[in-house]
Structure 1
């Protein structure tokens, strides 16, 4: 079976008025992972397609961005969408005054011994959590997603036999992200 590439574009986002969760959806593309960004909500790009919208943010239009690495590794194909969050009469949404704990990420052991990176993550409780480990050239070594994080997560990320040198660990939730450099 042959699948033809189609331009990457946004499908209608899904917004949950009760929780304030916005789920981004795309169509087309070339089969490579899609990364998302909402400049007013997120720091950098993430492969997590879910974002939490507060009541204050819901009153403003949002610029949704998506990108996908071209098959030739030469840049990105991009899509964007201007999105107005639907009004939700009577629905309770998160407010700016609700406390949001800081996302803390600690790598246990430096340099890494063996072929496992052990990470301790706090501050992502209740949210989807995505981890991506790459080398300094951007080569993906491993990634892992936790659908709903506990108050403390201690995931183990496996390295391949070719992995050595400096690594970049990116940890993302819909609201926060952290990046760490690590010696392997």
Structure 2
């Protein structure tokens, strides 16, 4: 049986991040042949094209982790109707220098959670626009704009009963997407 290593990029640095909790909860719903690597993006310097020829060690690590994966799971909050700056910074770093993108060809899934009722819908749309340019085949359906409210997570961090079936279906589709495109 093939093994699939998935790079997980969480667009929030907050310790109690809903999106980090969602990412961890989703990994529990994945098929057994899937493993997940939560990528560190908080230690990346701000992207500066002048540094392309001499990328920081944190950038080299990020690119190596992406290269070692068969797919990427993006889990992002919505900041001011778009993606967080830390996520954009990671996208830019791993796509450079031009022609040496670590993202190219990696199948991707996009999901996110927010306390707002639109559940990161605009951030996800903006992210999808970027992923098209980065040449990442990105799962289109089902979309999942998760509204964070009581019961979303159980005390042990698993997905709560009210959302489990929907998110299990999302994860099943993501796994199939990765298998089809990896």
User: Which one has a bigger Cα radius of gyration?
Assistant: 1
Judging by fraction of residues, say which structure has more strand.
Answer: 1
Same topology, TM > 0.5:
no
TM (normalized to structure 1)?
0.24
Higher relative contact order (CA 8 A, sep 6+): 2
